[in-house]
Structure 1
Amino acid sequence: MDAFSPLSATLGGLLIGLASAVLWLGNGRLAGISGIFGQLLPPAQTIVWRLVFLVSLIAATFLAARLWPGLGVGGDRPAALMAAPDGWSIPTPVWIAIAGLLTGIGTKIGNGCTSGHGVCGLARLSRRSVVAVLVFFGVAIVTVTVTGIV
Structure 2
Amino acid sequence: MAHRIRHEQHRALNPFSAHATLTDRTRRVTLAPRTSLFSSGALTMNAVLLPLLGGVLIGLSAALLLLFNGRIAGISGITGGLLSAAPADRGWRASFLGGLAVGGVLLATFRPESLGPPVLTSVGATLVAGLLVGFGTQLGGGCTSGHGVCGLARGSKRSLVATLTFMATGAIAVFISRHVLGGVS
Q: The TM-score by the shorter chain falls in which range?
A: 0.7 to 0.9
**d(CA) in 1 for partners of 2:61 and 2:108?**
18
For the pair shown, the structure with the greater C-alpha radius of gyration is 2
d(CA) in 2 for partners of 1:97, 1:15: 30
Find 2:112's aligned residue among 42, 45, 69: 69
Moved over 4 A (4+): none
Unaligned runs of 5+ in 2: 1-45
2:47 alignment partner in structure 1: 5
Q: Where does residue 124 of structure 1 map in the other structure? A: 154
Q: Which has the higher contact order (CA 8 A, sep 6+)?
A: 1
Q: Which residue in the other structure is 1:99 paired with?
A: 129
TM-score, normalisation: structure 2: 0.67
Paired residue secondary structure (2:72): coil
Structure 1 residue 96, shift from structure 2 partner: 0.8
**Alignment root-mean-square deviation, CA:** 1.9
- Looking at structure 1, the residues matched to 64 and 108 of structure 2 have their Cα atoms a distance apart, in angstroms, of 22
User: Which residue is 1:89 aligned to?
Assistant: none
Instruction: Tell me, yes or no, if the aligned pair for 2:78 and 2:93 is still in contact at 8 Å.
Output: yes
TM-score normalised by the chain length of structure 1: 0.81
Alpha-carbon distance in 1 for matches of 2:133, 2:111: 29
Which residue of structure 1 aligns with residue 70 of structure 2?
28
Deviations 1:45-82 (A, max 9, x none): 11111111101111122112212223x251xx5xx2x2
- Partner residue, 1:139: 169
8 Å Cα contact 2:108-2:115 kept in structure 1: no
Instruction: Give 2:57's aligned residue.
Output: 15
Structure with greater strand percent = 2
Q: Look up the SS of the partner of 1:5 in the other structure.
A: helix
Alignment of 1:80-91 (within 5 A): 80=118, 82-84=119-121
Distance 1:145 1:110 in 2: 22
- 2-side partners of 1:94 and 1:31: how far apart? 29
Alignment deviations for residues 8-33 of structure 1 (CA, whole Å, 9 cap, x no partner): 22122111111111211121111000
Q: Which residue of 2 aligns with 1:54?
A: 97
Kindly indicate whether the alpha-carbon contact (under 8 Å) linking 2:152 and 2:160 is maintained by their aligned counterparts in 1: yes
